[in-house]
Structure 1
Amino acid sequence: MNQSIFFVTLAYFLALTLTVNGMPQARQNGATIEVTPVGNLVRTQHRVSGELYIFNQTLLILDNFTFDGLGAGVYINIATKGNNRRQYIQNREIVNYPSLEDNTPIERSYQKERLIISLPQGVQAKDIKWLSIWCEIFGVSFGEVTFPNEV
Structure 2
Amino acid sequence: MLRWTVLCVLGLGLASATNAEKYKGQYIGKLSTLHHDVTGDVYAVDNITIYIEGFSYDGEAPDAFFFAGNRDSTPSNRGFIIPDERGRNQVLGPYRNKNMVLRFPVTKKGQRSLNDVQWISVWCRKFAIDFGHVKIPKNVAWPEAQVTEGLESDRPVLRSSAVRITDTDTFKLDDFTFDGTVQDAIFVMGSGDAKASGVQVMDEKGTDNPLKKYSKKTLLLTIPPEVRGQPIQYFGVWSPSKGMLASVTFDPEAYIPPSVKSLV
Task: Check whether TM > 0.5.
Answer: yes
| Aligned equivalents of 1:24, 1:76: Cα separation in 2 | 32
Question: How large is the RMSD of aligned CA atoms in angstroms?
Answer: 2.4
Task: Go from structure 1 to structure 2 and tell me whether the alpha carbon gap of 1:149 and 1:24 turns closer, same or farther (over 3 Å shift).
Answer: farther
Q: Report the Cα offset of residue 23 of structure 1.
A: 6.1
Q: Secondary structure at the match of 1:44?
A: coil
Q: Computing the radius of gyration over CA atoms, which structure comes out larger, 1 or 2? A: 2
Out of 109, 117, 123, the position equivalent to 2:102 is 117
Aligned equivalent of 1:144? 133
Aligned equivalent of 1:55? 45
| Structure 1 residues without counterparts, runs of 5 or longer | 1-18
Number of residue pairs matched?
123
1:32-74 deviations in Å (ceiling 9; x for gaps): 4440011111152100000111001221111110111111111
Q: Report the Cα offset of residue 146 of structure 1.
A: 0.7
| Aligned equivalents of 2:86, 2:59: Cα separation in 1 | 19
Amino acid at match of 1:63: E
Aligned equivalent of 2:59? 69
| Aligned equivalents of 2:128, 2:89: Cα separation in 1 | 17
Task: Go from structure 1 to structure 2 and tell me whether the alpha carbon gap of 1:105 and 1:80 turns closer, same or farther (over 3 Å shift).
Answer: same
Following superposition of structure 1 onto structure 2, how do residues 2-151 of structure 1 map, counting pairs within 5 Å?
21-22=16-17, 32-82=22-72, 84-85=73-74, 88-100=75-87, 102-107=88-93, 109-121=94-106, 122-151=111-140
| Structure 2 residues without counterparts, runs of 5 or longer | 1-13, 141-264
Q: Secondary structure at the match of 1:97?
A: coil
1:82-121 deviations in Å (ceiling 9; x for gaps): 4x22xx5253111222344x221102x2111112111012
Query: Does structure 2 retain, via aligned residues, the 8 Å contact 1:49–1:67?
Result: yes
Structure in which a larger fraction of residues adopt helix: 1
Q: Report the Cα offset of residue 126 of structure 1.
A: 2.5
Query: Does structure 1 retain, via aligned residues, the 8 Å contact 2:38–2:132?
Result: yes
